[in-house]
Homo-oligomer: A and B are copies of this chain.
Amino acid sequence: MSTLVFQLSVILFAARFGGILFKKMKFPSVLGELIAGIILGPSLLGSIPIPFLFENGLFPQVEGALIPVEPELYAISTIGSIVLLFLAGLETDLKLLVQFSIAGVMVGFGGVIFSFLIGALTTAWWLHIPFSDPRVLLMGVISTATSVGITIRVLSERKKVGSPEGITILAGAVVDDILGIIFLSVVLGIATLSRKAGQQSNQNQLFEVGMLIFRAVGVWLGFTAIGLLLSQKIGSFLKYFKNIGTISALALGLALLLSGIFEKAGLAMIIGAYVMGMTLSGTDLAKVIENALHPVQEFFVPVFFVVMGMLVNIKEVISPTVLTFGFIFTIGAVIAKVIGCGIPALGLKFNFLGALRIGAGMVPRGEVALIVAGIGLSSGFLDQQLFGSAILMTLLTTIVAPPILNVILTDKKGSLKELEKGELVETDFDMTSPYLVELLSERIVQSFVSEGYYVNTIEDEVKIYHFRRERSTITLFVEQKKLRFENDTTDTIFVKNIVYENLVRLNDMINQVKDLVKPAELKQELIEGEISTDFDVKKVLSTDCISLDLQSNTKNEVIKEMIDILFKNGKISDPEAALEAVMERENSFSTGMQNGIALPHGKSDSVERLVVSVGIHRKGIDFQSIDGKSSQIFICAVAPKKISGPHIRFIAHVGALLNTREKVDELLRCSTKEEVYSFFTET
């Protein structure tokens, strides 16, 4: 067990460092995690002996095993892939997608078909094996699924996410995932059959393959249909538990259950996880579960990608044969998407440039390709050469896409005139506070949903939401202190209205909280109660810091004078900073209490511990006290910001000490600093 624990620890660190490094280089962090895995894996650093601890290395080479990592580690990484696909499914609201993006469906469909065919044919040609060979079919599936994260980032830098091309790519990628999952179902069915049958007679094969395809699609379609039908029921069942932790744990439990069922049915676990996600995507729990499972994902999913990298045997991959095939396979994968997505796009009234952009945007492969390659390797259908080629293709397609996109993303229009109903404009809302952005953005997304919009969430440096309904498509970029919309000119008024309505509601909520808070009322009771006996005023007050005759005439001047006393006696290093802190607190709510006392205070790093000055102003100064009378006694306290120590405790103590008029009069009768000192220290 200690090996697993060390491995997980190293993987968590490597994944983060790899991810951050690649993010800095503007690549998806997945690539960094994958490469960290390759470097740490058994074929490179992993098998280097660590004396006394791991004689065969931390990730030792396992001879002859299909999966060169320990089963416990592989199990955790598999759960990672289930969590990943469950969350992907949660974001896919199928009904709305089909309703709102025929273009996306067509482009996704074209891309998947071409990618599958070219990927499979390339493999068949290179290995001289028949098309029906499981290796051929799996390599075809690996080539299907697009991962558009990096495309969206490039588009977003050029402010083109909301362009017709960008919108079509976003929808296409979702379709892509679904179709990839169906293809995987079919291919796994065929592969399992071919393994069972061994070298069977050829005669009934076509029929059997047909049946298999029918069955695999049937299982998928069956569960998807059941899921969509029961989704509200399942949602109500989960909601019965109220607690978000329980709801998300049970939702994950359901995803695991369906994963198991799909695996038992000869399909892949991730298909079950995805179907369960899709089932819940239509319920209002989708966002809740997504948020609750986010930290679980943060732990499991990077483990998955690092382990995928570890499965690569770099010594076998870096051979002329594998590299040659890897490059051919990559070129095929690029061409397949450009043509497969481009042709439907041309038919949908995009011009040549637009079709090219859509095709190029769909080129990067990612998570799903890795998962399918891993399934292929672990089930023994793929060998290291093919697995390595698939990993190489995933890496290269992601690296190659951004520069191509940057070249073709000119200002020229990519779509024919009739497709567009207006100019794309930006509508910005400056918020100046990240807190407000957070408060508002979630509500706004919810509003779009309740206006009947389909929401596509893309997490990147900034969070991007893509809303779509009939012919209206709006993109929202949630930036640090800004909400930025990209929308058609004809939607600008709608966008403004939706932000406005949410501001109004937020304003309402704030007013309600304000009504409840009522600090003014509480202030009345602040000094009612017994005095605490264990505060030692000697530690914070010295006779030097007592003034019997304050010179000031206004509130601001008094506070400045009290701070100056502290400064002159060497108690504070930076009087301006201290004054600012005390004034800031004072301006929120006056510290003038009843009976003529005022307790200005603040936290500032210009002191190293709590320091106090006491001043008496016989005539009295208006300090906006509770009873409206002028204040004659001022106790000014400055405490350090960072170090823990009494601050409010002191204020409570002196407040309680002076809670009757008699006590205040007693203090006012003092004629020397020593008497004042004794008053505070000997009561």
Q: Is A347 in contact with chain B by the CB < 8 A criterion? A: no
Instruction: Report A435 CB to chain B, min CB distance, Å.
Output: 7
A289-312 toward B: CB 8 Å interface, digit per residue (1/0)? 000111110110010000000000
Are B532 and A16 in contact (CB-based, < 8 A)? Answer: no
Which B residue sits closest to A512, measured CB to CB? B433
Q: Report yes or no: B72 in contact with A16, Cβ–Cβ below 8 A.
A: no
Map CB proximity to B onto A342-361 as digits: 1 under 8 Å, 0 otherwise: 00000000000000000000
CB distance from A173 to the nearest CB of B (A): 23
Q: Which of A441-475 contact B (CB under 8 A)?
A: 447, 449-453, 470-472
Q: Which residues of B contact A529 (CB under 8 A)?
A: 489-490, 492-493, 496
Contacts of A421 in B (CB 8 A): 533-534
Q: Is A24's beta carbon under 8 Å from chain B? A: no
* Closest Cβ–Cβ distance, residue A205 to chain B (whole Å): 27
Is the C-beta of A217 less than 8 angstroms from some C-beta in chain B? no
Across the interface, do B513 and A433 meet the contact criterion of CB distance under 8 Å? Answer: yes
Q: Is A256 part of the contact surface with B, judged by Cβ < 8 Å? A: yes
Chain A, interface SS category:
helix
Given the complex of chains A and B, what is the CA–CA distance between A472 and B652 in angstroms? Answer: 14
Contact A516 B433 (CB under 8 A): yes
Q: Complex: how many Å from CA A534 to CA B299?
A: 45
Stretch touching chain B among A128-136, A186-194, A240-248: A240-248
A25 near B: Cβ within 8 Å? no
Q: In the assembly, what is the distance between CA of A79 and CA of B12, in Å?
A: 14
Taken together as a complex, chains A and B put the C-alpha atoms of A627 and B506 apart, in Å, by 24
Is B298 a contact partner of A508 (Cβ separation < 8 A)?
no
Name the residue of chain B whose CB is nearest to the CB of A422: B530
Q: What is the distance, in angstroms, from A416's C-beta to the closest C-beta of chain B? A: 19
The answer to whether B493 and A526 have CB atoms under 8 Å apart is: yes
**Interface members, chain A 486-513 (any B CB < 8 Å):** 489-494, 496-501, 503-510, 512-513
Residue A628 CB within 8 A of the other chain: no
> Taking CB as reference atom, which chain B residue is nearest A645?
B452
Chain B residue with minimal CB distance to A498?
B648
Which of B451, B472, B497 is within 8 Å of A655, CB to CB? B497
| In the complex, A264 has a CB within 8 A of chain B | yes
- The reply to whether A16 and B250 form a contact with Cβ atoms under 8 Å apart is yes
One of A2-10, A111-119, A332-340 contacting the partner: A2-10
Pairwise interchain contact B499-A1, C-beta atoms closer than 8 A:
no
Size of A's binding interface in residues, CB under 8 A: 116
B493 in contact with A522 (CB, 8 Å): no
- Confirm or deny: A651 has a beta carbon within 8 angstroms of a beta carbon on chain B: yes
Name the residue in A6, A295, A531, A534 with the highest tally of chain B Cβ atoms < 10 Å from its Cβ: A295
CB of B648 within 8 A of CB of A245, answer no
Given contacts A13-B250, A256-B6, contact A513 B516 (CB under 8 A): no
Asked if A75 is at the interface (CB within 8 A of a chain B CB), the reply is yes
Report A612-654 CB contacts with B as 1/0, cut-off 8 Å: 0000000000000000000000000000000011111101110
- CB pair A12–B513 under 8 Å, yes or no, is no
A436: interface (CB < 8 Å): yes
Contact A516 B249 (CB under 8 A): no
CA A294 – CA B298 in complex, angstroms? 12
Partner of A644, one of B422, B450, B508: B450
Asked whether A652 lies within 8 Å of B496 as measured between CB atoms, the reply is: yes
Q: Point out the residues of chain B lying under 8 angstroms from A253, CB to CB.
A: 8-10, 12-13, 16
Does A263 belong to the interface (CB within 8 Å)? Answer: yes
Give complex CA distance A512, B518 in Å: 17
A62 contacts B by Cβ under 8 Å: no
Contact A78 B530 (CB under 8 A): no
A490 vs B512: C-alpha distance when bound (angstroms): 33
Give bound CA distance, A75 to B248, whole Å: 22
CB neighbours (8 Å) of A588 from chain B are: 504-505, 507-508
Within 8 A of B (CB), among A9-52: 9-10, 12-13, 15-16, 20
Query: Taking CB as reference atom, which chain B residue is nearest A523?
Result: B500
Q: Is A399 an interface residue (CB 8 A)?
A: no
Which residue numbers of A lie inside 8 Å of B, CB to CB?
1-6, 8-10, 12-13, 15-16, 20, 53, 71-72, 75-76, 78-79, 82, 241, 245-246, 248-250, 252-254, 256-257, 259-260, 263-264, 269, 292-296, 298-299, 302, 421-422, 431-433, 435-436, 439, 447, 449-453, 470-472, 489-494, 496-501, 503-510, 512-514, 516-519, 522-523, 525-534, 585, 588-589, 644-649, 651-653, 655-656
Given A53-B264, A433-B516, A489-B529, 15 new contacts (CB under 8 A): A6-B260, A10-B253, A76-B79, A295-B295, A296-B296, A422-B530, A433-B512, A451-B645, A452-B644, A453-B644, A472-B532, A490-B530, A493-B530, A499-B522, A503-B517
24 interchain pairs, CB-CB under 8 A = A2-B263, A5-B78, A5-B260, A13-B253, A71-B71, A71-B72, A75-B75, A296-B296, A421-B533, A422-B530, A433-B513, A450-B645, A451-B644, A451-B647, A451-B649, A489-B529, A490-B529, A492-B529, A496-B528, A503-B518, A507-B514, A507-B517, A507-B519, A507-B588
What 6 pairs across the A-B complex have the smallest Cβ distances?
A: A12-B253, A2-B263, A9-B256, A72-B75, A492-B529, A494-B652
